[in-house]
Structure 1
């Protein structure tokens, strides 16, 4: 007797590896059409279709002809319940190799994939943590048994476990600015590791907790090899936005400069005021830096920005040649670009800012709900 085909679960981690390895994946997304259009799983070899769950309650006959027989099939919903139901229906109709995404899009939003960016000159390393479903990028600088984490997201256990595996102690956590699209894990991580939490003071006028002032002219040391993290005041996305130069090799730009676009200046309601700051940072301050610096942003917008190993990075000189946001010569046109026809603001961004100020403390599930959706920190031409 042949054993019946069983519906299998696939973790967000397994899916991320398939996406980054360009494996062929067929996705049936059964969320409502509006949720699907707002945010979906992307990849160069991801084939995806959307049929809402309520259209499949009476069976999957209507979509059987569009579901391939020779590919892995992944059914996706918001949390996982609906995808299990639909996946089981597909198996009953003879489909094989059917999976559901464990934890649904919520788990996809929270997965972090560590990618090594490179070595430091005196023996250290720098890693990028790609939050592939949300577009967030965090970093860990490691040297001689110590580490600094930059722009940490709220899933702090990932950084703790990675540091433990590397046998290093997290001494500093740093936020390049007060985030509005995701809840920072920097302060929580610093408390758990007894490290120092750094935040630009001009973004911290309303915070209700203690922090170290991330200001230009200060140098943070990680390890005994004198690997410096040099802050550069670079307002525009927020009034306090501060970039970091690590080891004279890497420029961590926060949400000021991305690989394919530039940061938006409107998330505190001050697009007109901050447009000039943004232009000064991009067209003057960054222009004075070395072309060979590797730009490491805090977000990416599209999967096409990921490199061959899943990393998001670019040479600064190349961005001045190729990035549309760095090639708007007319100042009035630049102002229009960064203040008009912007993409929708991030979900619950005001509540996220309040959380990052320490003014409110949402429960874990509420924090997950607040963050649902794509990265919207960039201006995409």
Structure 2
């Protein structure tokens, strides 16, 4: 008996293309409620593996016979057992997710945002299982990577396939929800690694200081990447204007929410910075800039082409975090509507500072679960 496997790459295409899938998640209910493969086109059934060890009778009548059925668990083992039971019962359209939710957490789906002037290109790397967004700006034979995840081979191989050399790697801030791949990419490619110095006071490595007004020119098309100091999520948070058309907002502004100011324990101190950035600094920018955030929280934030992007002017009309004119009401909204902090956020911060060097399996465990960088 050979159960069919579905790779995370294949699942990613089904999510982006909104294909129909019946997802049978055999993890415990709390794990499923906290974090799952999300798609508007999927049907879901959550039945813990331990309830199915004596047979599949509890779900037999709920599993469809025509729609592809994908069994999912944490690592792929429990779901394979359930898939075999379904196969023996006569279901023939059964798959298991290779590597389970751990592998799904690491998948990156590159989506083209736009062609830039003079042959340049802009790509958004969508981490579908965690809601993280990274970027690559390509111009001529050079590239810059922004807010890279730890899956560095995805960026390095993508650049090789495009025939370009990564010259700059930038982080908008010191991340607390995922491990940055910035230093590793810089080391492997010879690129320059940039980090805001106000976030880097405790880092254990060399970097170039990313300050307000830092202006990088990428490749022969001379694509411009300009840094704008925009504190609030962290004290050093820095945004980028790319090609005078795009605003990479990091974890300051999302499509349907705003960034949280508490991941270094500074909510009361940084909420004023957050408000100044959102209600003053960004207000001075063009409404036509397309906002490209570093995270998204729900599928509703994705466009039909798979990108997560919206004009700044539209966000000032629709994003609830930008509609609170009273300063005290804003402070209350931000400090009283914070979700649980990301898994292992302190350990992730220390890893991104170079203070800790967890092995790969520990890094995977540290990042398991959804991102929680937004004020709800």
Give the alignment of 1:18-97 within 5 angstroms. 18-97=14-93
Q: Deviation of residue 225 (structure 1)?
A: 2.6
Give the alignment of 1:262-301 within 5 angstroms. 262-301=258-297
Give the Cα separation in 2 of the matches to 1:336 and 1:65.
Answer: 48
The aligned residue for residue 204 of structure 2 is 208
Give the alignment of 1:89-238 within 5 angstroms. 89-238=85-234
Q: Deviation of residue 119 (structure 1)?
A: 1.4
1:11 aligns with 2:12: no
1:302 aligns with 2:298: yes
Instruction: Give the RMSD, CA atoms, in angstroms.
Output: 0.8
Q: How many residue pairs were aligned?
A: 376
Deviates more, 1:128-137 or 1:326-335: 326-335
User: TM-score w.r.t. structure 1 length?
Assistant: 0.98
Q: Deviation of residue 330 (structure 1)?
A: 1.2
Q: Deviation of residue 234 (structure 1)?
A: 0.2
Give the Cα separation in 1 of the matches to 2:42 and 2:333.
Answer: 32
Q: Deviation of residue 70 (structure 1)?
A: 1.4
Structure 2 residues not aligned, in runs of 5+: none
The aligned residue for residue 374 of structure 2 is 378
SS of the equivalent of 1:62 reads coil
Give the Cα separation in 2 of the matches to 1:137 and 1:368.
Answer: 18
CA deviation vs aligned residue, 1:24-55 (integer Å, no higher than 9, x gap): 01011000111111101111101111110011
Deviates more, 1:225-234 or 1:186-195: 225-234
The aligned residue for residue 344 of structure 2 is 348
Give the Cα separation in 1 of the matches to 2:333 and 2:205.
Answer: 36
1:241 aligns with 2:208: no
Structure 1 residues not aligned, in runs of 5+: none
Q: Deviation of residue 69 (structure 1)?
A: 1.2
**Equivalent residues of 2:117, 2:221 under 8 A apart:** no
Give the Cα separation in 1 of the matches to 2:45 and 2:264.
Answer: 36
Q: Deviation of residue 19 (structure 1)?
A: 1.0
Q: Deviation of residue 379 (structure 1)?
A: 1.1
CA deviation vs aligned residue, 1:134-181 (integer Å, no higher than 9, x gap): 000000000010000000000000001110010000000000000000
Give the Cα separation in 1 of the matches to 2:150 and 2:55.
Answer: 39
The aligned residue for residue 311 of structure 2 is 315
Give the Cα separation in 1 of the matches to 2:221 and 2:208.
Answer: 22
Q: Deviation of residue 120 (structure 1)?
A: 1.3
**Equivalent residues of 2:337, 2:375 under 8 A apart:** no
Give the Cα separation in 2 of the matches to 1:178 and 1:87.
Answer: 41
The aligned residue for residue 364 of structure 2 is 368
**Equivalent residues of 2:113, 2:124 under 8 A apart:** yes
User: TM-score w.r.t. structure 2 length?
Assistant: 0.99
CA deviation vs aligned residue, 1:69-93 (integer Å, no higher than 9, x gap): 1110000000000000000001111
Q: Deviation of residue 224 (structure 1)?
A: 2.5
Q: Deviation of residue 226 (structure 1)?
A: 2.2
Give the Cα separation in 2 of the matches to 1:333 and 1:185.
Answer: 37
